[in-house]
Chain A
Amino acid sequence: MSKRYLIPGLAATLSLVAAPAFAAVDPEVVYILNSFSFLVNGALVMFMAAGFAMLESGLVRSKNTATICLKNITLYALAGIMFYAIGYNLMYMDVTGYIGSIMPWSADDAAAVAEKGANFEAGYSSSSDWFFQMVFVATAASIVSGTVAERIKLWPFLIFTVILTSLIYPIQGSWTWGGGWLTKLGFVDFAGSSIVHSVGGWAALTGAIILGARRGKYGPDGSVHPIPGANMTLATIGTFILWLGWFGFNGGSVLALGSAGDVVAMANVFANTNMAAAGGVVMAVVMTQILYKKVDLSMALNGAIGGLVSITAGPDTPTLGSAILIGAVGGAIVVIAVPMLDKLKIDDVVGAIPAHLLCGIWGTLAVPFTNADASFVTQLTGVIAIGAFVIVTSTIAWLAIKFTIGIRASAEDEDMGLDKAELGLEAYPEFGRGAHSI
């Protein structure tokens, strides 16, 4: 049972029932603490947008830096607007099983602020909940941005972002977090290994295939020509910011802070989230040392993300040791899958497909190892259903954009760099040329 599908007031009631030994917490205090958790954790998740922007800036060439920064801030803005206009109610309002309602969202907190007879049955302020859910959809959109970087045109990408955040993400999200058919089946995805990360990953995969590889990435004989990123320092700070934001992503997904039980749950989630990332990093560092005789920093960074995505479906139930192992498998998936994608000539600039899609699938399937309420068959059903839905809808969206306004920058613009072609701006006008510019 997804904890996102808590009917108003249930959070407070549940925590009281679950912890009968404690004195009852005043409902207004519960209301305040739950809302506080949504707001602070949501703000942490919002900052993940900065993490994605820095990670992607570091892994593209400097001639595409300004464009990737613009894409990241604009997609974050669009995600919020679309989630207000359509997405939230499509995901959470009167979900029939497969889809919610189509209307803009509006706050309803009259009961809590009534001058006479105020009641706090809602459990939290509605805007705090809206804000917390909104920053998740932005994360899904950020995942796509890195994979298709350096060759997609700006406006077609933004149009895809609108479709993803207003329709694709909310509809599949309603199946689980909106209380739809997957929740009724018993599918468990605590903070969104599948619902957020795999969704972004599937959309990135279809986009990368339809868009094609960057010019020069693959030789006609199948050889791989790596295109090193411009700034590994930025990529590293970006990964650290994502790691920080993930405490809000998973911790806030406890959805309540109104009792000692809630606090214990959130603390466990924080600790497990950290350890899964640690497992992913160490696994990637050790594996690249063994496989390539050199440690690969970009893989270590992807390993952190892979570990974080892996634990996201169930950060509440594992022990710290299990969390390390779940994350370590995520790190291994990244190291194995990155060269495999190159063999398939799928050009993923930042490694989002291994880290978000494949680790998202692994994390979702791993939930039954530590959570007796989850079953492998149900988890697999969710992975396949969400995957099939996003593959079909995102493919239609990408192709529709491709055959109307086009998605790919011209070869000339790609060679010159999208910063000059799309923005008429260089990211580093006062510095020397990059090491690989000859």
Chain B
Amino acid sequence: MKFIMAIIKPFKLDEVREALVSLGIEGMTVTEVKGYGRQKGQTEIYRGAEYEVNFLPKVKIEIAVNADQVERAVEAISNAANTSKIGDGKIFVVDLEKALRIRTGELNDQAL
């Protein structure tokens, strides 16, 4: 099992969700987050004075998938979230030790 964390542009969330649903991935957790990467922040202007907004709003998606699904899931997220402009975000994949469905007690692949 793998755990995928993707940081994407907020307005891309629906497209990413649809792409994942079409792969049969049935759950995800979404968090509104702020941060920066190479894009750094952006400059805004208020009443004649410029200021830096260092942390830009992004959406973080977390999903757990079977090992054989991971490449297609990463590809789907990457395609759906891509605008070819700076600030599109990143995808991180880590090993997942254990999963448990609280209601039934099912474990690992059965719990996804």
Q: State whether A226 touches B46 (Cβ < 8 A).
A: yes
For window 35-57 of chain B, which residues contact chain A by CB distance below 8 Å? 44-51, 55, 57
Q: State whether B48 touches A338 (Cβ < 8 A).
A: yes
Q: State whether A342 touches B57 (Cβ < 8 A).
A: no
Return B71 CB to nearest CB of chain A, in Å: 34
Cross-interface CB contact of A296 among B46, B51, B57, cutoff 8 Å? B46
Cross-interface CB contact of A298 among B46, B50, B51, B57, cutoff 8 Å? B46
A229 to B46, CA, bound (A): 9
Which range holds the interface residue count of chain A? 10 to 19
Return B18 CB to nearest CB of chain A, in Å: 25
Return B41 CB to nearest CB of chain A, in Å: 12
Given A294-B45, A296-B45, A298-B46: A226 and B51 within 8 A (CB)? yes
What is the count of residue pairs linking A and B with beta-carbon distances less than 8 angstroms? 38
**Chain A residues near B50 (CB, 8 Å)?**
226
**Chain A residues near B45 (CB, 8 Å)?**
226, 292, 294, 296
Q: State whether B51 touches A291 (Cβ < 8 A).
A: no
Q: State whether B48 touches A438 (Cβ < 8 A).
A: no
Q: State whether B55 touches A226 (Cβ < 8 A).
A: no
A213 to B34, CA, bound (A): 29
**Chain A residues near B48 (CB, 8 Å)?**
288, 291-292, 296, 299, 335, 338-339, 342
A294 to B44, CA, bound (A): 10
Q: State whether B34 touches A228 (Cβ < 8 A).
A: no
Return A226 CB to nearest CB of chain B, in Å: 4
Number of interface residues of B (CB under 8 A): 11
The CB with the most chain A CB atoms within 10 A, among B34, B45, B47, is that of B47
Q: State whether B47 touches A298 (Cβ < 8 A).
A: yes
**Chain B residues near A335 (CB, 8 Å)?**
48
A338 to B48, CA, bound (A): 7
Cross-interface CB contact of A299 among B47, B51, B55, cutoff 8 Å? B47
**Chain B residues near A292 (CB, 8 Å)?**
45, 48
A398 to B55, CA, bound (A): 39
Return B33 CB to nearest CB of chain A, in Å: 10
User: Does A435 sit within 8 A of B, measured CB to CB?
Assistant: yes
Return A197 CB to nearest CB of chain B, in Å: 20
Return B45 CB to nearest CB of chain A, in Å: 5
A224 to B46, CA, bound (A): 11
User: Does A351 sit within 8 A of B, measured CB to CB?
Assistant: yes
Cross-interface CB contact of B46 among A228, A435, A438, cutoff 8 Å? A228
User: Does A225 sit within 8 A of B, measured CB to CB?
Assistant: yes
Given A435-B57, A438-B55: A339 and B46 within 8 A (CB)? no
For window 290-332 of chain A, which residues contact chain B by CB distance below 8 Å? 291-292, 294, 296, 298-299
A150 to B45, CA, bound (A): 21
A71 to B50, CA, bound (A): 30
The CB with the most chain A CB atoms within 10 A, among B49, B50, B57, is that of B49
A351 to B48, CA, bound (A): 12
A438 to B34, CA, bound (A): 9
**4 residue pairs, one from A and one from B, having the closest CB atoms:** A226-B46, A339-B48, A224-B49, A226-B49
14 contacts across the A-B interface (CB closer than 8 A):
A224-B49, A226-B45, A226-B46, A226-B49, A228-B46, A296-B45, A296-B46, A296-B47, A298-B47, A299-B47, A339-B47, A339-B48, A342-B49, A438-B34
